[in-house]
Structure 1
């Protein structure tokens, strides 16, 4: 049975990432010109701050040097977190995206943009924003219905804290 370089690297590096309290989300080896780049994406339920990224980067670099897993050719190691518009593929991704706006591509209902309210083992409870002054509606989406889901960037979102501040100001 043949394994790819990415699979071998995952087996080598995942325990180190887990020891740091993070999840190994993605690993890829790309060629950029004459150089190779090893990209490692990590995350956790509480996110990964710069200190955690630096710690895991040092641990991975040491292990890669010790084992010569990338061979003798030069390479760059890039360790980071998922992007703002990350693709949701694992149950933990949906849990971490709670209260975020997500664009769902559904098997039968086409596309739906909704905010994740709750996640369980069977699927999601979401709130579909109202259109043209209508009130938002809630709906249930089972995991098997989801073909693709991606977090959406919100620039002008009114957070719950903002709404609460406005309510308190109106009462004063």
Structure 2
């Protein structure tokens, strides 16, 4: 049997989130003043739009009300998606970040910023941008080599579609 409230909530809510076609990424219960806030983070391979968030939020709220899993104290339910600079911790996170720029903290080789090209069960193929006029290079990173990884926000990157139109 689960011991923490977050684990019990995960066991209760994960099947409901999954039935909505989403993955339950995170659950956190925080105290804000006299209220508690239940934060639920969901995602999917194709992302989660506002309609999907609203649907899962209503379903979670109904389930929580019927089970009284949050007890008698007032709480707010916040359902959202991971932020733009989300940490990558699961295999599916790396798959979803394909073609994105990621900052890696490697277990032995320090830090690396590279674009994920492909992901399989053993690791990643990445493209390391060239520096000072040098061409970009590709590299293989095995999952055990990755201590931390976080998607980077790119403000000036041209869309892949725009690149293809320029080449034509």
CA RMSD of aligned residues (A): 1.5
SS of residue matched to 1:85 = coil
Q: CA separation of 1:49/1:170 partners in 2, compared to 1, >3 Å: closer, same or farther? A: closer
SS of residue matched to 1:161 = helix
Question: What is residue 104 of structure 1 aligned with on the other side?
Answer: 104
Distance 2:158 2:132 in 1: 18
In the TM superposition, what whole-angstrom CA distance separates every residue of 1:132-163 from its partner, at most 9, and x where no partner exists?
Answer: 11100000000000000000000000222122
Distance 1:77 1:66 in 2: 15
Q: Which runs of 4+ in 1 moved over 2 A?
A: 168-172
Q: CA separation of 1:171/1:13 partners in 2, compared to 1, >3 Å: closer, same or farther? A: closer
Per the TM alignment, residue 62 of structure 1 is displaced from its structure 2 partner at its CA by 0.1
SS of residue matched to 2:25 = strand
Question: What is residue 93 of structure 2 aligned with on the other side?
Answer: 93
Q: Is the deviation greater in 2-11 or in 85-94?
A: 2-11
SS of residue matched to 2:102 = strand
SS of residue matched to 1:60 = helix
User: Which blocks of at least 5 consecutive residues in structure 2 are unaligned?
Assistant: none
Structure 1 residues 5-154: aligned runs within 5 Å: 5-154=5-154
Q: CA separation of 1:169/1:119 partners in 2, compared to 1, >3 Å: closer, same or farther? A: closer
Q: CA separation of 1:3/1:132 partners in 2, compared to 1, >3 Å: closer, same or farther? A: same
Report the TM-score when normalising by structure 1. 0.94
Per the TM alignment, residue 169 of structure 1 is displaced from its structure 2 partner at its CA by 7.3
User: Which blocks of at least 5 consecutive residues in structure 1 are unaligned?
Assistant: none
Distance 1:33 1:155 in 2: 36
In the TM superposition, what whole-angstrom CA distance separates every residue of 1:23-71 from its partner, at most 9, and x where no partner exists?
Answer: 0000000001111000000000000000000000000000000000000
Q: What is the total number of aligned residue pairs between the two structures?
A: 168
